[in-house]
Structure 1
Amino acid sequence: MDASQLALRVHAAALRLGLTVEAADELTEAVQPDLDQVVAERDGLLAERARYVGVEPAIAAELKRGWLAAHEVCDAAERQALQWEQPLPVPEWVGAVRTALDGPGGGMRVRWVEGCEAGANSAVPEVLGGGTHWEG
């Protein structure tokens, strides 16, 4: 809806409220600059919103790919250590990386992936004050 359409609506509303045609015309002329400004601001906001629509799922998908790739590296290191007849110890970094990925309790893995697939920000880990804070 552009400013001229809004002006027509203002004019019609003024007539419905009982103003004379002349008074409705004067009111419409008086508010026209404001209507132009409102429409310009709305168009700017719509253009800015268009820049961000659809970005959240792409970010969530990228986070999920990185998260899964890190788990694959951990799984591969664990398999390589355990493949022998006399297994080698699993590298210490595997546990540290998994804790960082899954949270301290280790139960975040499935919920975090599901949250990323759904684009739910509440399941995405956030770094707060140098430590890791887990939500979800």
Structure 2
Amino acid sequence: MPHASPTRAGNAAEDQALGHLQGHGLALLARNWRCKGGELDLVMLDADTVVFVEVRYRLHAGFGGALGSIDGRKQKRLALAANLFLQQHPRWAAHPCRFDVVALQGQGHAGQPLLWLKNAFEC
């Protein structure tokens, strides 16, 4: 069986993350929301908190793996995109917000647990 393309693998990781988060009671507000400054993989609602979820998939653990890929520059881009999202969707602007990371690693994620870090970083 041929390896999945990086896009397909990323979409599969997002699907898995979305299902996991919905299974824990979060509701989807937006998926793959794009703006000039970047993209938000998932925007979810957890009770009254708007959750900006970055889904990271890496085939191998090299270079820090999935979690290691969330550096300071990436965090700033996510914060900028989240700010733009809230400006364009003022309904959610008064709600508390947080940034979560869902990390998956390994081909097909087989045997690898999904790692969900709530409030993974502050902006």
Could you say which TM-score interval applies, normalised by the shorter chain? under 0.3
Task: Compute the TM-score of the two structures, normalised by the length of structure 1.
Answer: 0.24
Question: Whose strand fraction is larger, Structure 1's or Structure 2's?
Answer: 2
Which is higher, the Rg of structure 1 or of structure 2? 1
The answer to which structure, 1 or 2, has the higher relative contact order (CA under 8 A, 6+ apart) is 2
